[in-house]
Chain A
Amino acid sequence: MSKVQSSVIIDKPIEEVFDYAASPHNGPAFIPNLNENANITPAKVGDHDSGVGQTFDWRFNMAGVDLRGKAEVTEYDRPNRVKIASTGDSDSSWTYTFEKEGNGTKVNIGLEYEFSENALKRLANKVVVDKLAQKTCEQMAENLKLILES
């Protein structure tokens, strides 16, 4: 499995940052190339509910090539940590951790992934995909900051 990570400090309260980043509905807004998260079940997680077990279908589009799969929230500790495991064209786990930093929030995004051989053939080679994943992770952090600091 390959690993990439990035972090960012966002000048917003930890709960607000957590709620935005942990919701699969918002994924396409800040994750580059993620076109959609569909069939999100349950559709909403309340402030005091555990989000563990929430599932959804994802679809990435890279240069016209669709990658699909299913995801499940496996850890949900509001407002500190959320982990999403996904299977399909790419087996991956996305871990977001949130820490108070002054008046803001430090977000760490960790991504572990492994593409199926079939998906790699459709894309390019592993080196290109690894670079793309690192760039995606950094862009996610940047986009989160941009969206939330309004």
Chain B
Amino acid sequence: MNISLLITTILLLLLIGYFAILPLSKKRPVLIKNIGVPLFTLTIFGIAALLSYLFIFWIGVSIALCLYFMCLWIVFGVTKDKLAEALQKATVMTRASFEIDGKIYLIDGSMRIGISNLGKKTNFIYFRNKNGSKRANLAKEVFRKFIQNYFLE
């Protein structure tokens, strides 16, 4: 095994340990957020590139950059309904306004949040206008806590 592959594999294992094994060991959902999502993508594509063709890495870089700018969270282990419930609870506790515009949630009139269900308990949460108001950002932080407070069913 060459040294680059070894380092990338260790990095992937550390990421899996931190983002997945740690919460799952406490029966909590997996939440990969912000920089974690592109980092995961980059590491997986990095390993694929080291095992096959280098251009795969550059595909990974492009996807990682897109994911970084999308400001994405990935949640495993919680249903979409529970995520919406956690978001609403977070806005109540931070006294931020909460509106539903089709499939988008508008927080404090400044941050749009979408939740897309990919499977039974796998969801993407994406944030538009990521430079929302301070209150919207606080609601987002409290939303993160409430997601992590759920137990796996």
- A66-B138 in contact (CB<8A): no
- A32–B146 Cα distance when bound, in Å, is 13
**Chain B: minimal CB distance from A59 (Å):** 8
Which of chain B's residues 107-149 have a Cβ closer than 8 Å to chain A?
Answer: 134-135, 138, 141-142, 145-146, 148-149
- Identify which of B18, B26, B135 contacts A146 (C-beta below 8 A): B135
- A59 nearest CB neighbor, chain B only: B149
A39 within 8 A of B: no
Tally inter-chain residue pairs, CB-CB below 8 A.
Answer: 37
Report chain B residues within 8 Å CB of A34: 145
With contact pairs A66-B26, A143-B138, A147-B95 given, residues A36 and B18 touching in the complex (Cβ less than 8 Å): no
B59 within 8 A of A: no
- B148-A146 in contact (CB<8A): no
B3 within 8 A of A: no
With contact pairs A29-B142, A66-B26, A146-B135 given, residues A35 and B148 touching in the complex (Cβ less than 8 Å): yes
- A147-B145 in contact (CB<8A): no
- B135-A28 in contact (CB<8A): no
- A95–B141 Cα distance when bound, in Å, is 24
B1 within 8 A of A: no
Report chain A residues within 8 Å CB of B100: none
A150 within 8 A of B: yes
Report chain A residues within 8 Å CB of B94: 29, 146-147
A26 within 8 A of B: yes
- A150–B142 Cα distance when bound, in Å, is 17
Report chain B residues within 8 Å CB of A102: none
- B92 nearest CB neighbor, chain A only: A29
**Chain A: minimal CB distance from B13 (Å):** 15
B22 within 8 A of A: yes
Report chain A residues within 8 Å CB of B18: 64
- A150 nearest CB neighbor, chain B only: B95
**Residue from A25, A26, A34, A147 having most chain B Cβ neighbours under 10 A:** A147
- A32–B135 Cα distance when bound, in Å, is 14
Report chain A residues within 8 Å CB of B26: 66
- B148-A28 in contact (CB<8A): no
Report chain A residues within 8 Å CB of B135: 146-147, 150
- Identify which of A36, A64, A66, A150 contacts B145 (C-beta below 8 A): A36
A54-66 CB mask vs B (1 if < 8 Å, else 0) is: 0000000100101
Other CB < 8 Å A-B pairs besides A29-B94, A29-B138, A148-B95, 7 of them? A28-B93, A28-B146, A34-B145, A35-B149, A146-B135, A146-B138, A147-B138
**Could you list 16 A-B pairs, sorted by A, with CB under 8 Å?**
A25-B93, A28-B93, A28-B146, A29-B90, A29-B94, A29-B138, A32-B141, A36-B145, A64-B23, A66-B26, A146-B94, A146-B135, A147-B93, A147-B94, A147-B135, A150-B135
Closest 9 CB pairs of A and B: A29-B93, A35-B145, A150-B95, A36-B149, A64-B22, A147-B95, A29-B142, A29-B94, A147-B94
